A and B are shown apart, each in its own frame.
Chain A
């Protein structure tokens, strides 16, 4: 079974631009979560989608948004990029999105904002 895939793997943007990151979950998984990883703050939860609905959102500004499609693929968007948005963005998928289901992580997208 193929693992979670994320595209692109690396991205360089400038301040003020917007960016869209993509995540394809493991086949059959309906829950997709997104995390931001930085050296200072570590891994922080962004949001979680299940069956095209956002069920939970972390403490991030409205510039961070996401969506999930009917095939469970998910995208996250960051508008008006700031230098502090430079981070590794991780996507994770699980069957039903409960604590009984293991979360499988993707390799991440490394975003650099100049």
Chain B
């Protein structure tokens, strides 16, 4: 069975400081991993996915299969980054896929 672990419930950093949100996964197949973000009073939305290997809003995430990790990083935190962040893993079954989410990390950027 697949599992996603986000060890930190809450992470507080100062504006301009680097940010790293940790995500570890457990999955027997080839993982497809995502980061979702939920800003205050907004919907859950996709931030980035590992297959795209892109940087969104200054955030990047690298899949490390050896350490089974997919940590989210940003070199300089901004106040608008304050939000709830969820790491998710997709698994395929019967032609569809489902997302398994971690429990989320609340990022608070202190001005």
- Residue numbers of A with Cβ under 8 A of B are 3, 31, 33, 35, 42-45, 48, 50, 55-56, 58, 90, 97-100, 102-107
For chain B, the bracket of interface size reads 20 to 34
Q: Which residues of A are found within 8 Å of B43, using beta-carbon distances?
A: 3, 105-107
* Contact assessment for A105 and B45 in the assembled complex, using a CB-CB cutoff below 8 Å: yes
Interface class of chain B by DSSP: strand
Q: Which residues of B are found within 8 Å of A3, using beta-carbon distances?
A: 43
Closest B residue to A49 by beta carbon equals B96
Interface class of chain A by DSSP: strand
Cα A3 to Cα B42 with chains together (Å): 12
* Contact assessment for B44 and A105 in the assembled complex, using a CB-CB cutoff below 8 Å: yes
* B 92-110 to A, binary, CB cutoff 8 A, 1 in contact else 0: 1111111111111000000
How many Å from the CB of B93 to the closest CB on chain A? Answer: 5
* Contact assessment for A90 and B95 in the assembled complex, using a CB-CB cutoff below 8 Å: no
Q: Which residues of B are found within 8 Å of A107, using beta-carbon distances?
A: 43
